A = this chain, B = another copy of it.
């Protein structure tokens, strides 16, 4: 694996994470520059994307580089990710060749690969992202994988820091929200992992059964210990709002129901009230509102909250550009 790959934030030492965040912040106050002139970024999307694709193209362009974006499946061949198999089925190309060849063409390779959401252990293995990281010889950048969305997490941390001056010591809540589908946990995982490195008082509110991955919570607690923050959990919806200075709303399918969407739908029937609206936010300390987008309006959060003066959702999207400029500079800039 190329040591400049960016697969998650947690594998970076704390100091390096803080430097990356500082670089992103600096880029948010600076104009275009030519640091990556002549460099080529290849983006491979196995799933839809709006923000990630456009913000990466903008970031690379602002740095003077070129992006080539491919839609897996439509533009390319069906791919095999398992090693050692006799490829007699649908897949015409093995990830070993795809990663190897794209490493010949690009200076870095971004990959988006959502989870199958059938088997948690399998998704935690990151079979697609991991295979690209192993078989590419250029840096691989995570454009949202089965369990992590580190570019989003970095942009979210930047947004929190900018909202508060610095987020250290501030009270931040991640609240689960109702959603008609069982969504991946990549965004809440990455948010918990980056926010906990800011030294915030982090509350995670969700109904019983929608626990996050224990390994993520453990890493978050270690982050909090290292930065003077805290992580606490609650199943009480109102408790999540009380005193919060920033609220991050997100739906996810919990580990208790992983791979059983019908069971989850039944269990979720009474949870429609888990929405971030003005009424719920009244318990907060005039909290900033964050969401990674896309968001289901009047399901995950109300129109009034999304369009209100404390909404940072567009700022978060803008910060994706700066976060990714930092990631690109780390991956590609000459020493």
Q: Could you say which residues of chain B place their CB within 8 Å of the CB of A208?
A: none
In the assembly, what is the distance between CA of A51 and CA of B76, in Å? Answer: 9
Copies of chain A in the complex: 3
Q: Could you say which residues of chain B place their CB within 8 Å of the CB of A84?
A: 298, 303
CB distance from A131 to the nearest CB of B (A): 13
Number of A residues whose C-beta is below 8 Å from B?
58
Q: Could you say which residues of chain B place their CB within 8 Å of the CB of A51?
A: 101
Are A296 and B92 in contact (CB-based, < 8 A)? yes
Are B77 and A296 in contact (CB-based, < 8 A)? no
Task: List residues of A (28-49) whose CB comes within 8 Å of B's CBs.
Answer: 32, 38, 40, 42, 45, 48-49
Candidates B50, B98, B106; contact of A76 at CB < 8 Å: B50
Task: List residues of A (126-166) whose CB comes within 8 Å of B's CBs.
Answer: none
Are B299 and A88 in contact (CB-based, < 8 A)? yes
Q: Could you say which residues of chain B place their CB within 8 Å of the CB of A55?
A: 105
Residues 89-121 of chain A: 1 if any B CB is under 8 Å from the residue's CB, otherwise 0? 000111011101110111000000000000000
Candidates B38, B48, B68, B97; contact of A293 at CB < 8 Å: B97
Are A87 and B317 in contact (CB-based, < 8 A)? no
Are B50 and A61 in contact (CB-based, < 8 A)? no
Q: CB-nearest residue of chain B relative to A49?
A: B75
Of A210-218, A221-229, A257-265, A306-314, the one with at least 4 CB within 8 A of chain B = A306-314
Task: List residues of A (48-83) whose CB comes within 8 Å of B's CBs.
Answer: 48-51, 53-55, 57-58, 61, 66, 68, 70-71, 74-77, 80, 83
Q: CB-nearest residue of chain B relative to A183?
A: B92
Q: Could you say which residues of chain B place their CB within 8 Å of the CB of A279?
A: none
CB distance from A162 to the nearest CB of B (A): 14
CB distance from A121 to the nearest CB of B (A): 25
Q: Can you pick out 26 interface pairs between chain A and chain B where the beta carbons lie within 8 Å of each other? A: A40-B58, A48-B74, A50-B70, A50-B76, A50-B93, A50-B102, A51-B101, A54-B70, A54-B105, A55-B105, A58-B105, A74-B74, A80-B297, A83-B303, A85-B297, A87-B298, A87-B299, A88-B296, A92-B294, A93-B293, A94-B295, A94-B297, A97-B313, A98-B294, A101-B293, A101-B314
